[in-house]
């Protein structure tokens, strides 16, 4: 009963179907949240048969995880593309933080947060999420270090980069229910200057003036 | 069996019922999340009649908001009590941050996060949450300034206190699905030193002296 190894049209259709299903899943998560997202709603929205969908993603967890992973990859690619046009010099740090702040208030962050919160009370989802989160977190950290040209061998730098990402996550949550952008901009303005000083100097006391 | 001098018993019973219902609501939120929390489950858990519960809290939103507010007040009182025994001197800042980090990984934070995420896709809940959140956020900011003895008239101090609370919120989310305490401790160790330097010195740029 195995389907014969047909050629590319079949495979391409399959890939297009998958992409459509994943986009519909993210849209559904954003619009209705985890509890309002069902495999049936997604299949309808994507215009695919329930059979086709279940073939690719047998459970809601599998479907939603794949969708968030798909979106994470797309976003990482976008960030890398955008990063390629960043200026060098002091302005660079500001632009990197702005780019990351945009990511942490965008659809990927919101969709991922839906999953994290649902995973807290759903052991199956949690077990699947933990390794995915660890991987995405490591990737994001590495990307940030690279974009900032930070030297993690200097004491405190690694923790400061982590703190920057945790701060951005906190700001993402603060932006969930209302537009927090004015407060965020002011706060990040201060943080950028502090971060620049830390990355440039790495003395934890602010008196050394060795350039 | 003891005897109260009557008159108030009715009112006291009512208050005791309310407290029991609110505690049951928080427990339910923590155990089952927003979508698994229903007024029926809470009434059963609290051992009160549906009628009595609906009398106090006519909707799920009203019930859950009251529960989170109740918990927020209890936590704030606990923090104030604990704060009264804090040492003066440099150790104080470390202890304040530790106290706050505990709050941001505890049950109040988790219950509130359930509400924030649910409120994103539930307009009625969101409209009720936004003012509550603003109030609790202001309170938390004021408490932090007071505990740290920070001088917000100094440039950058207000934003740095805000960033500390947003960082703690981000760390709370990072702790949702797995124990993040080792990473959090290391990160906060670095943050505490940077925060102490900023609060003590407040030069945000190493040279500018246009006040």
ipTM at complex level: 0.88
CB contact under 8 A, B177 and A114: no
Judge whether B63 is closer than 8 Å to chain A, CB to CB: no
pLDDT of residue A7: 60
pLDDT of residue B202: 54
Classify residue A180: in a domain, yes or no. Answer: yes
CA dist A64 → A42, A129, A150, B70 (Å): 10, 10, 34, 34
Q: Which residue has the higher pLDDT, A28 or B75?
A: A28
CA dist A119 → A123, A127, A149, A155, B116 (Å): 6, 8, 34, 35, 15
A49 DSSP assignment: -
Q: Six-digit token pair at A36?
A: 């309002």
pLDDT of residue A9: 82
Tell me how far the alpha carbon of residue B205 is from its chain's centroid.
34
pLDDT of residue A57: 92
pLDDT of residue A1: 47
pLDDT of residue B79: 86
Return residues 71-130 of B near A (CB < 8 Å). 110, 113-114, 116-121, 126, 129-130
Classify residue B210: in a domain, yes or no. Answer: no
How many Cβ atoms are within 10 Å of A176's Cβ, its own excluded? Answer: 19
pLDDT of residue A209: 44
pLDDT of residue A206: 45
Judge whether B191 is closer than 8 Å to chain A, CB to CB: yes
Report the share of chain A in percent with pLDDT over 90.
Answer: 70
pLDDT of residue A203: 47
Judge whether A187 is closer than 8 Å to chain B, CB to CB: yes
C-beta of residue A25 within 8 angstroms of C-beta of residue A63: yes
Backbone angles phi, psi at A104, to 5 degrees: -80, 0
Judge whether A23 is closer than 8 Å to chain B, CB to CB: no
Cα B53 from Cα B61, distance rounded (Å): 13
Judge whether B177 is closer than 8 Å to chain A, CB to CB: yes
pLDDT of residue A88: 87
pLDDT of residue B207: 45
Average pLDDT over residues A52-72: 90
Report the share of chain A in percent with pLDDT over 70.
Answer: 92
Parts of chain B with a pLDDT under 50:
1, 203-211
Cα B38 from Cα B28, distance rounded (Å): 9
Classify residue B157: in a domain, yes or no. Answer: yes
| CATH of residue B172 | 1.10.357.10
pLDDT band for position A74 (50/70/90)? confident
Backbone angles phi, psi at A57, to 5 degrees: -135, 95
Classify residue B89: in a domain, yes or no. Answer: yes
Classify residue A6: in a domain, yes or no. Answer: no
Classify residue B32: in a domain, yes or no. Answer: yes
How many distinct structural domains can be found in chain A? 1
pLDDT digits (tens, 9 = 90+) for B158-169: 999 999 999 999
C-beta of residue A112 within 8 angstroms of C-beta of residue A68: yes
Q: Does the pLDDT value for residue A11 go beyond 70?
A: yes
Average pLDDT over residues A161-185: 97
Classify residue B133: in a domain, yes or no. Answer: yes
How close does chain B come to A11, measured CA to CA in Å? 36
pLDDT of residue B14: 82
Find, among A207, A7, A37, A56, the residue nearest to A122 by Cα. A37
CB contact under 8 A, B191 and A163: yes
**B chain contacts of residue A113, beta-carbon cutoff 8 Å:** 117, 173
C-beta of residue B23 within 8 angstroms of C-beta of residue B46: yes
In the block, residue with structure tokens 């790495």: A202
In the block, residue with structure tokens 């005897």: B3
Q: For A117-135, b where at least 16 C-beta lie within 10 A, e where not — what string? A: bbbbbbeebbebbeebbee
A112 lies in which domain range? 61-201
A4 DSSP assignment: P
Select the residue of B120, B160, B162 nearest A176 (Cβ to Cβ): B120
Classify residue A73: in a domain, yes or no. Answer: yes
Find, among B6, B125, B19, B12, the residue nearest to B64 by Cα. B125
pLDDT digits (tens, 9 = 90+) for B122-142: 999 999 999 999 999 999 999
pLDDT band for position A202 (50/70/90)? low
- What single string gives the DSSP state of each residue in A88-122? SSTHHHHHHHHHHHHHTTSHHHHHHHHHHHHHHT-
């Amino acid at each position: 009963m195995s389907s014969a190894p047909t050629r590319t049209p079949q495979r391409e259709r399959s890939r297009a179907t998958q992409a459509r299903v994943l986009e519909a899943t993210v849209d559904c998560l954003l619009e209705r949240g985890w509890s309002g997202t069902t495999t049936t709603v997604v299949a309808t929205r994507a215009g695919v048969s329930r059979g086709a969908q279940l073939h690719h993603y047998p459970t809601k967890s599998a479907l939603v995880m794949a969708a968030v992973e798909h979106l994470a990859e797309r976003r990482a690619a976008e960030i890398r593309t955008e990063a390629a046009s960043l200026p060098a010099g002091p302005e660079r740090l500001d632009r990197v933080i702005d780019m990351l702040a945009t990511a942490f208030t965008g659809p990927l962050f919101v969709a991922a947060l839906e999953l994290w919160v649902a995973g807290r009370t759903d052991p199956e989802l949690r077990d699947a999420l933990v390794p995915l989160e660890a991987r995405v977190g490591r990737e994001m950290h590495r990307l940030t270090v690279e974009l900032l040209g930070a030297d993690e061998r200097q004491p405190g730098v690694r923790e400061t980069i982590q703190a920057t990402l945790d701060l951005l996550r906190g700001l993402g949550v603060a932006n969930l229910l209302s537009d927090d952008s004015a407060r965020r901009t002011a706060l990040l303005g201060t943080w950028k200057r502090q971060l620049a000083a830390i990355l440039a100097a790495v003395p934890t006391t602010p008196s050394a003036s060795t350039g």
